[in-house]
Amino acid sequence: MSESTNGGAPRLVVIGEIARPHGLRGELRVNPLTDHPERFGALEECVVWDRPRDERQVRRIRAARVHGTQVLVSLAGIDSIEAAQPLVGRLMAVPESEALPLAPGWFYPWQITGARVVTEDGREVGAVVRIDPSPGHDLWVVKDGAREHLIPAVPEIVVDVDIASGRVVIRPPDGLLDLAQ
């Protein structure tokens, strides 16, 4: 997930969400939102982000370790449960420039937000406005004016994703584009 703000602040890539304090010394339980939770241990700092208010605080990471499905993180200046509690629900993020590189043919979901979507025969469908995760596969929300189309992100439908040109080619089954919200 990546997002920019109106003030020209750098785009952020979310890597975790603070779930709750852990212990009495301000350590945080973080739900990782990255395929590589071990990366927390390699970071020197992160942005603690209150997305609804777009409040960002750069914090030095003192220590981090994977603990089951979560990551336990100690941040500089957070030394008690009372200091940790207000951070619950905030996101941990890094600047987009620090996103981990992906293998060829892979992309981050935020890289297709805004991409133009066309059918194989060149018909304009709209632009990707968001991605809704679901258990089976993601649904790409594609908007064209007032209409929204839900495009299942499966290989049978998504034929090509060209990040450099901001273009997605789809092969919609009969009736898919007739279903609009």
**Based on the domain organization, do 8 and 64 belong to the same domain?**
yes
| Report field, pTM of the whole predicted structure over 0.75 | no
Count of structural domains, the chain:
2
User: According to the model, what pLDDT value does residue 51 have?
Assistant: 85
**Is the domain of 18 the same as that of 50?**
yes
* Percent of the chain whose pLDDT exceeds 70: 94
Q: Rounded to an integer, what distance in angstroms lies between the CA atom of residue 117 and that of residue 68?
A: 39
What is the C-alpha to C-alpha distance for residues 87 and 79, in angstroms, rounded to an integer?
Answer: 12
The residue ranking higher by pLDDT, 102 or 41, is 41
- Separation of CA 51 from chain center: 12
CATH number of the domain residue 33 falls in? 2.40.30.60
Q: Are residues 124 and 171 in the same domain?
A: yes
Neighbours of 30 (CB within 10 A): 26
Both 155 and 86 in a single domain? no
Asked if residue 120 and residue 92 are part of one domain, the reply reads no
Burial pattern 97-116, b for ≥16 Cβ within 10 A else e, equals eebeeeeeeeeeebbbbebb
The more confident residue out of 133 and 128 is 128
